Amino acid sequence: MKDFEKHTLKECHNDSDLVTSQFDFKLNQYRLHIHENMAKRMLKGSKGNATLECKYQKIGRNEIYEIPDNSYREFKSVPLPDNLLVPKHTDFMITKCYVKEQKKPPKLLQTDGLTFIEDHLRKEEAKAYAKQQQKNPKPSVLLMGLDSTSRMNLRRAMPLVYKFVSQPGWFEMQGYSKVGDNTFPNLLAVLAGHSPKTLAKMCNVTKSGCLDTAPFVWKRFKSSNYTTAFAEDCRAINTFNYLLPGFLQQPVDYYLRPFLVAIEEKFPVTKEFGFSFCVGRRLSFDYVWNFGKQFIDRFLKKNPFFGFLWSNSFTHNFFTAATALDALLLKHLHSFEVAGLFNHSIVILMSDHGQRYDTLRGAASGYYEERLPMMFIYVPPWFRKKYPHLVANLVKNRNRLSSNYDLHMTLHHLLQLESTSMADFAKKHRSVACPSCQSLLFELPLNRSCQQAGIEEKWCCCNPVKTLAKKTDFVRTIGLAVVQKMNEHLKKRKFTRKCHNFTLKNIHKMDRRLHLPMGTNTTDKDERVYIMQFWTRPNMALFEATVQWNHHQHKLHMDVDDLSRLNRYKNQSECIDDKNAKKYCICKDSISNITRIPKIISKVKRFPGLK
């Protein structure tokens, strides 16, 4: 806590909006308003003949671009009169307002970005939905996520939000454990039921079109007549676009990515906490949550929906930066509440993992904080009344071991609520990476193992550990074997031309996992599992390896790609684009003269991080 500091939220602008949008419910269309009274205040320094002139430019998805997710389509700029009805099928827009004075070129006064979520439902569809909700209601589903937020850090840094999700109807999955290192494998498990390894058997994820073939759960919601949406901030590290091609076809009905790419390219971008913070006049975070509010407003009482909102901008790099987000996120949650979201919908507030490096990761609780992300599930009153047996299971499961794959199965369960067991789920709707995983609305086994939950040995938090003395020949032997394995791996992956070989500098800590008495251990009787934190040369890289050591054969078993890097590495790994290898490649052109082991302290703004 000596490194814990509270941050205040910085504003992106101090002027008023010149152009705002309002939904016209009679015409089922957006209308734009130009606030000339606001403009007059801004024009005080101009002469009396100064006038205001506004224009707008439609922005859309560029379907013909080789990688559509990395592009956008911009239309011709046209005049923007007051009370303009936004042309239908307009998803996004950039507005520009100019000061015009005689004999002077127009001066740009304000530019802004607007999003529109129109519903294209027929009136009969909305009426049919209203009738169905009275007889046999279908829950809408909204997933909201903050990157790198452990269940403990939510309490530490965001007490207002934690108080909100402690109200009746919310259930915290305190045994929820991550299944992969960074964002991609954890969200892939939630949304598609796959691990990177199982998906690789279907297609090459680095090739355009691969992700389109994955069984993302929003596809099933769409086939069940749900309206779907997906929004994420920080273009450079979007979950399915960081060192990946994203989607060839638009994955959901309402997709923020083209707008995000456009505004980060066209507007001034201010960085704070390591990533895009202010994009133009607004917070990168607000674009996502305002988009979510529009989505809720359009469909809450007209059609069931599935939405996924994800934010990286505040929480990705620094565990204390969430303190600046607390009141703002609470404000958005209250706006969702006023809109009626919590009367109708299943709402999930979650994260992918906790902090993976620096101060918090180096703390005594860091090992567990990285592996235990926050996970809260809200169940509305009508659902609690109609399905008390399912809610009773949710209550039991709060303190039992669960994983991302279980959440994936829960999402499927919400589309077949009359199921009585996992036997009712079709094979195509089961998690490929974890066939034994199940919905959180069914009771989980009390003595469940990590293996049953699809959690690999490296991420398992169930076994207690014993810390060994560092300065022993045995510990040194394992340390040298690990570093040798890393160098062999660099050679096997043909990285030695770009990446420097490692030498062992120092072993920071060595733990041995103790066997559990419940028969849930998966290792050979001659093998023991060790968790080692160690420093290497060059550049004083700090790693954590979970390895198996066979005492009889004196052999080491480890997957180098599963190494954890506990200090930041962006500026040391720019010579390669492989997501996993970036953790352990020290580029030869990045060698520094650091010889002493540095203290692991992460101060805000000090380093840009990596996904």
The answer to whether position 3 is within a domain reads no
Alpha helix (H) residue ranges in 115-158:
123-135, 151-157
Task: Please identify, among 383, 413, 442, the residue that sits at the C-terminal boundary of a domain.
Answer: 383
The answer to whether position 215 is within a domain reads yes
107 and 141 share one domain: no
The answer to whether position 212 is within a domain reads yes
482 and 586 share one domain: yes
Q: Is the pLDDT of residue 342 over 90?
A: yes
101 and 213 share one domain: no
Q: Band of the pLDDT at 524, cuts 50, 70, 90?
A: low
Cα 432 to Cα 420: distance, rounded to the nearest angstrom? 21
Q: Name, in order, each residue with C-beta under 8 angstroms of 462's C-beta and a sequence gap of 6 or more.
A: 401, 449, 450, 516, 520
27 and 92 share one domain: yes
Are 542 and 465 in contact, with CB atoms under 8 Å apart?
no
The answer to whether position 432 is within a domain reads no
156 and 270 share one domain: yes
The answer to whether position 9 is within a domain reads no
Q: What are phi and psi of 542, to 5 degrees?
A: -110, 120
pLDDT tens, position by position, 417-471 = 999 999 999 999 999 999 999 999 999 999 999 999 999 999 999 999 999 998 8
- For the segment 319-336, the average pLDDT, to the nearest whole number, is 97
110 and 181 share one domain: no
The answer to whether position 324 is within a domain reads yes
Looking at the structure of the chain, the number of domains it has is: 3
Task: Please identify, among 329, 358, 383, the residue that sits at the C-terminal boundary of a domain.
Answer: 383
pLDDT tens, position by position, 250-284 = 999 999 999 999 999 999 999 999 899 999 999 99
Q: Band of the pLDDT at 605, cuts 50, 70, 90?
A: very low
pLDDT at 130: 82
The CATH number for 501's domain is 3.10.450
Answer whether 0.75 is exceeded by the pTM: yes
343 and 488 share one domain: no
243 and 362 share one domain: yes
User: 35: domain range?
Assistant: 19-115
pLDDT tens, position by position, 487-513 = 999 999 999 999 999 999 999 999 999
The Cα angle at residue 598 between residues 593 and 603, in degrees rounded to 5: 115
Q: Is the pLDDT of residue 231 over 80?
A: yes
The answer to whether position 166 is within a domain reads yes
